[in-house]
Amino acid sequence: MRINENYRNIQDSYLFSTVGKKVAAYAASHPDARIIRLGIGDVTRPLCPAVIDALHRAVSEMGTPEGFHGYIPSEQGYPFLREAVAGHYAERGVTLSPEEIFISDGAKSDLGNLLDLFDADNTVLIPDPVYPAYVDANVMAGRRVRYVDATPDNGFLPLPDADLDADLVYICSPNNPTGAVYDHAGLAAWVDYALRRGALLLFDAAYEAFVSDPALPRTIYEVEGARSCAIEICSLSKTAGFTGTRCGYTIVPRELKFGGMSLNAMWLRRQSTKFNGVPYIVQRAAEAVFTPEGWSQCMESIDYYRENARIIAGTLDELGIFYTGGIHSPYIWLRCPGGLDSWAFFDLLLEKANVVGTPGAGFGVNGEGFFRLTAFGQRESTREAMQRFADLARTL
């Protein structure tokens, strides 16, 4: 049996494991240190009451002969949830048919599995810095990966130029790790590029719920023409604290046709062959997110994280440190104080301030000299972390 040789070419990503090891080593040798973690992008607030109630109800159903639910009637998701997602898009003026909505167990699965639909002989364009899974999933299939530079000069929001040669383009806005958000004109430039070249955009909208300016797009389909060139992948992980509950959705518009084939039909075929749907109880939980009560409870948590982001950003403003994000995003992406490189600042912040962040260099070449903090902590520890951060930065 011959293995997939492309696996030999995957670079080992040691980012989060190295962070974890360094923190564990420090904690072991400094047992009294009160370490505050603003590193990993995981939520900390519990599931909201509307979601918990929906889960308990659905669990109780599953224990009775009348209420029991077996195989999900369609791998694409229960109609009740696809209609709820359609309603969410309708609030942004975007009309979707439930047949265009695929319920998933999260953005990461779909971002990886969607690649099944595309030939290995495609050029993939990925911004640098970037969420590492985009790259690995393509290297596994032997696709050519090119990078487009996200730098302070373009506000970490690169735009296409006509020379750019790409078939598949990843866009994440609000961005992980930089927190930068494309405006309507920025996304329209990418849609225009894709339509002219026959490229496909893979739009990762996982952080859309953090956008508070109504003028900023929360879905690529707010841009005219996007239905003919973009798949959107979204998740309830950050919107509703579902990182451990696992539910997302992917939009594959009917207009998407390549080589005479409908991507919607291909994705349905892929999912009905290699996926069996999201648990009934989780789909009921997700449905509750989109009720008025559930949504307002989820937005309370988002507001809580937003206030953390304001605390982080406020400290950086006071210190005069360059950063992006933190307004429409749970991530703050900052230039390391004192001209330090990413890992040097990581070590210093851990050792002198007992605060953990993520070194920007771990997200790509252009991340060197930058650092990511997240707003997903507790309020008081965020405040204290930024006090310690400021005390350290003033010495650099």
Site for its own copies in 198-237 (CB under 8 A): 198-200
Which are the contacts of 360, defined by CB distance < 8 A and separation ≥ 6? 129, 177, 333, 336, 342, 367, 368, 369, 370, 371, 372
Specify the residue, 37 or 335, whose C-beta has the smaller distance to its own copies: 37
> Helix, strand or coil for residue 215?
coil
CB neighbour class for 8 (10 Å; exposed up to 12, middle 13-18, buried from 19): exposed
For residue 359, the cross-strand partners are 371
Site for its own copies in 286-345 (CB under 8 A): none
Strand order in the sheet with 358-359: 323-325, 331-335, 370-374, 358-359
Q: Does 180 bind its own copies (CB under 8 A)?
A: no
Kindly state the tokens that stand for 209. 């719920």
Specify the residue, 41 or 367, whose C-beta has the smaller distance to its own copies: 41
Which are the contacts of 140, defined by CB distance < 8 A and separation ≥ 6? 4, 6, 7, 10
Closest distance between its own copies and the C-beta of residue 379, in Å? Answer: 12
Closest distance between its own copies and the C-beta of residue 214, in Å? Answer: 29
- Cα separation, 168 vs 198, in Å, equals 9
Closest distance between its own copies and the C-beta of residue 153, in Å? Answer: 29
Q: SS3 for 285-316, per residue?
A: HHHHHCCHHHHHHHHHHHHHHHHHHHHHHHHH
| Of the residues 263, 336, 348, 375, which one makes contact with its own copies according to CB under 8 A | 263
Q: Does 168 bind its own copies (CB under 8 A)?
A: yes
Site for its own copies in 63-122 (CB under 8 A): 63-65, 67-72, 105-106, 108-109, 111-113, 116-119, 121-122
For residue 169, the cross-strand partners are 125, 201
Specify the residue, 43 or 373, whose C-beta has the smaller distance to its own copies: 43
Specify the residue, 103 or 327, whose C-beta has the smaller distance to its own copies: 103
- Cα separation, 272 vs 116, in Å, equals 13
Q: How many CA atoms lie within 13 A of 315 on its CB side?
A: 22
Closest distance between its own copies and the C-beta of residue 347, in Å? Answer: 24
Q: Does 241 bind its own copies (CB under 8 A)?
A: yes
| Of the residues 24, 159, 261, 396, which one makes contact with its own copies according to CB under 8 A | 261
| Of the residues 9, 10, 25, 322, which one makes contact with its own copies according to CB under 8 A | 10
Site for its own copies in 34-63 (CB under 8 A): 40, 42-47, 49, 52, 55-56, 59-60, 62-63
Determine the size of the site formed for its own copies (CB under 8 A): 75
Site for its own copies in 264-293 (CB under 8 A): 266, 269-270, 273-282
Amino acid letter at 215? A
Q: Which stretch binds its own copies (CB under 8 A): 91-99, 129-137, 153-161, 364-372?
A: 129-137
Closest distance between its own copies and the C-beta of residue 77, in Å? Answer: 12
Closest distance between its own copies and the C-beta of residue 155, in Å? Answer: 28
Specify the residue, 357 or 369, whose C-beta has the smaller distance to its own copies: 357
Specify the residue, 94 or 124, whose C-beta has the smaller distance to its own copies: 124
Which are the contacts of 315, defined by CB distance < 8 A and separation ≥ 6? 386, 387, 389, 390
> Helix, strand or coil for residue 144?
strand
Specify the residue, 166 or 336, whose C-beta has the smaller distance to its own copies: 166
Specify the residue, 115 or 336, whose C-beta has the smaller distance to its own copies: 115
